[in-house]
Structure 1
């Protein structure tokens, strides 16, 4: 068996050996590869091959690999396993990973798996399931170790040694009182180098925390941006109920980024590697957006029909339609993308709609004046001052309107609980095409007297 030196080599090797039916070679390759690479490998393989490869992993490594996989890939692997194997895998997952997988499984299967869990595991999972989908409470782990402010460091370290094996992380340790109210956090490093007789509170730091009902993506971005290893999650009475770990936060941020990139390209995220995604899944990810854009095109045609007589009198106007609609759509999309990112980063809120509108209005005017001046000079040179004036004024108007609407739309979407990236793109495309043409021909009729 030839050695492999990269993830691509591993994928090629495993795919080749699976096609040959040489399972011993596959098991040998998987056993000698780092577990993070094996997790990515299983995500890249077709569902059937991924199921076979997963069953060839040593039992002590299989769960570690499985927990590193994305939930959609986990679902496809689970579909290839026997009921007994599924129950074993499900019971060994951490509660937060278990809930993420449940969100991907059919409701009947998820309910049966929950019922088959041991009572203690079922309780931890039920706590997380009680929070709304999309909230950070749904993504936290209830498995953590805590310390108290007045106990000695030596006592705290002993508790960490005894209970830390069941915790998902021990590097950031919440400090709580007897009623479980969060008081702060302390790092394991700080405790390790402290005097054993010191009180824990002398080494305690202020906690960066979130409430269980807070948006999971916003919380994850905050954790990643601040560079902390874990964030305590509290209920409405500030009682500690779990932790959001950095690895889970990074996965959420990466998934959100992939989704936003897909929406920006007028498609839904595939959630699987491209080459292993079925053709019909690719079609489903694109078809809805194409229908929306088709409606936009129909509206554009309707507007053109309204101004058919104007075009007949001044045919040169038709030459600039692609330029004007393209610039209008791109201006709106740029504004929407900027504000959508600002929303995700917590830099703006729906209540900031008016300041955002004013900022984008001024931005649109500057863009419109700049582009309009250039277009006026070029169009005047070839088509006369009348056409040049129409094009210049239209660009000024279109850029101003598109930037303002594009900047406000994500805030409107957020306020009505719709994904800004999903809502803004098709709306702006439709709005800018139809509105831009109406503005264009209205200015043309006024300036040219037709």
Structure 2
């Protein structure tokens, strides 16, 4: 796979479009999907446009909705309409749900009467229900057909259906009466009627069934698809196992955020990440420059602290040796804590309603690590420089600075999160600024106290 990606990038860099088109024509959809997610927006469009019509549709159906939207924005309206009309009904509705209302209405109006009816049917059901999730592309046969007739029908319907592995048997009014696997149909005697070989006890869901319940049913019973019926038991669609797996992923993530009280966090952080990675230069400046300016001001203030204790540095030159250690250890401890907080928040391990409990534990962690590192470094400083008082100052300064840094590593991101400010861009600069100034101040005050007789 890595070799395939490198070849794609090489062709793109050298603008070898004919070679790239030939390579893509021989590639599997899964390979193309994997590399598409790592390309820039411009490269994604180039690769997609070089795909054959059938392969392009298969790739598009498997892409995340956000990436689908990006590709659509690069197409002409005629191309968008063509693509939307070729999507399976459930995939089409899933994409239309994410587009602006005006765009959705315009695209729906451009569909054929049959496609418009299918789309309107699915969009008429509530969100996160079986009706909204189902597809209307399935094989439905009458119970009076023989196995031979049924196989001929399946061959006829197969090119236009999402799945043919399960056959649904209905009466003339489309009421669901039975179900049959393709395997059972193939091995049946040609003269057998579907009524004789079908399973009359059918596992099914209604259009109003919650999508999570549908997904769990498919997963637990190891089914390829599940029929969806209306209140009159009429078959109106099916839900396939691939859709169920997507639902389980979505619902699991949603449940994690819900338990942590972070229902809207995923979308918010996703939008911010999108702007920071793929946004315009102005958008990136707005998000990052203010915090870097804060860091610059903090650096100047840290310099002012050093300047204020210039006499101490001149009197005991060894004091300067340990400034980098105190600065770096505090910085690393703060970065560790902020990273742990961010990951815990995203995964739902940190409950914002119980933040003080998490903060208290992190303070204890910082204090314990600071004590261990402080004692070890203090002993080394004492032996190395032959000044026990300097060792005490270094050890205490390290312990206090690391404790402060780990506390800030949790407190600052949490505060930014509560204020609705991007913690990814803002946490580290603010933590670094406060930690540098306070760490130096603590160190020099302790040096003045313990080594005052040398100054």
TM superposition score category, shorter chain reference: 0.5 to 0.7
Structure-2 residue corresponding to 1:440: 443
Residues 181-222 of structure 1: per-residue CA shift (max 9 Å, x gap)? 9877412672759xx9xxxxxxxxxxxxxxxxxxxxxxxxxx
Distance in 2 between the 1:174 and 1:399 partners?
Answer: 59
Give 1:125 deviation, angstroms: 7.4
Give the alignment partner of residue 57 of structure 1, picking from 36, 40, 51: 51
Choose 1 or 2 for highest CA Rg.
Answer: 2
Which stretch shifts more, 341-350 or 61-70? 61-70
User: How far did 1:407 drift?
Assistant: 2.7
5 Å-filtered alignment, 1:40-439, equals 40-43=34-37, 50-69=44-63, 74=68, 77-78=71-72, 80-90=74-84, 92=87, 94-98=92-96, 102=99, 113-118=103-108, 121=119, 142-144=132-134, 155=176, 175=205, 185-187=216-218, 190=221, 229-231=245-247, 244=250, 270=277, 290-383=292-385, 384-439=387-442
Please state how far the C-alpha of 1:429 moved relative to its aligned partner. Answer: 1.4
CA distance in 1, matches of 2:71, 2:357: 48
**Contact 1:87–1:113 (CA<8 Å) still a contact in 2?**
no
Please state how far the C-alpha of 1:334 moved relative to its aligned partner: 1.1
For the 8 Å contact 1:413–1:419, the answer to whether it is kept is yes
Aligned equivalents of 1:156 and 1:344: distance in 2?
46
Q: For 2:15, what is the secondary structure of its paired residue?
A: helix
Whether contact under 8 Å (1:398, 1:436) holds in the other structure is yes
Does the CA-based 8 Å contact 2:334-2:406 persist in structure 1?
A: yes
> Structure 1 residues 389, 268: CA separation in 2 closer, same or farther (over 3 Å shift)?
farther
Unaligned 5+ residue runs, structure 2?
Answer: 110-115, 137-167, 170-175, 183-202, 228-243, 256-265
The structural deviation recorded for 1:340 is 2.2
Q: Distance in 2 between matches of 1:248 and 1:57?
A: 34
Distance 1:385 1:58, change over 3 A: same
Task: Indicate conservation of the 8 Å contact 2:48/2:56, yes or no.
Answer: yes
Of residues 4, 7, 12, the one that matches 2:4 is 7
Note the aligned Cα RMSD (angstroms): 4.8
C-alpha distance in 2 between matches for 1:174 and 1:370:
62
Once the two structures are superposed, what CA deviation does each residue of 1:49-105 show, in whole Å capped at 9, x if it has no partner? Answer: 5434423322222122134446676566445432311343356454444556x5xxx
Instruction: Report the secondary structure of 2:107's partner residue.
Output: coil
Distance 1:320 1:180, change over 3 A: closer
Query: SS of 2:250's equivalent?
Result: strand
Q: Report how far residue 400 of structure 1 moved.
A: 1.6
* TM-score, normalization by structure 2: 0.61
Distance in 2 separating the partners of 1:378 and 1:72: 55
Query: What is the distance in 2 between the residues matched to 1:177 and 1:160?
Result: 23
Q: What residue is the counterpart of 1:212 in the other structure?
A: none
After superposition, what is the alpha-carbon deviation per residue over 1:249-288, rounded to whole angstroms, capped at 9, x for unaligned?
A: 9xxxxxx8xx89x99xxx985359xxxxx99999899756
Cross-structure match for 1:150: none
Shift of 1:328: 0.8
Offset at residue 324 of structure 1 (A): 0.7
Q: Give the Cα separation in 2 of the matches to 1:319 and 1:294.
A: 23
More displaced stretch, 45-54 vs 327-336: 45-54
Q: Secondary structure of 2:389's match? A: helix
Contact 1:331–1:402 (CA<8 Å) still a contact in 2?
yes
- Corresponding pairs, count: 350
Q: Output the TM-score relative to the length of structure 1.
A: 0.61
Please give the secondary structure, in 2, of the residue aligned with 1:340: helix
Closer/same/farther in 2, CA of residues 157 and 94 from structure 1, 3 Å limit:
farther
Q: Is the 8 A contact 1:293 1:429 kept in 2?
A: yes
Contact 1:349 / 1:411 at 8 angstroms: preserved in 2? no
- Greater mean alpha carbon deviation, residues 425-434 or residues 113-122: 113-122
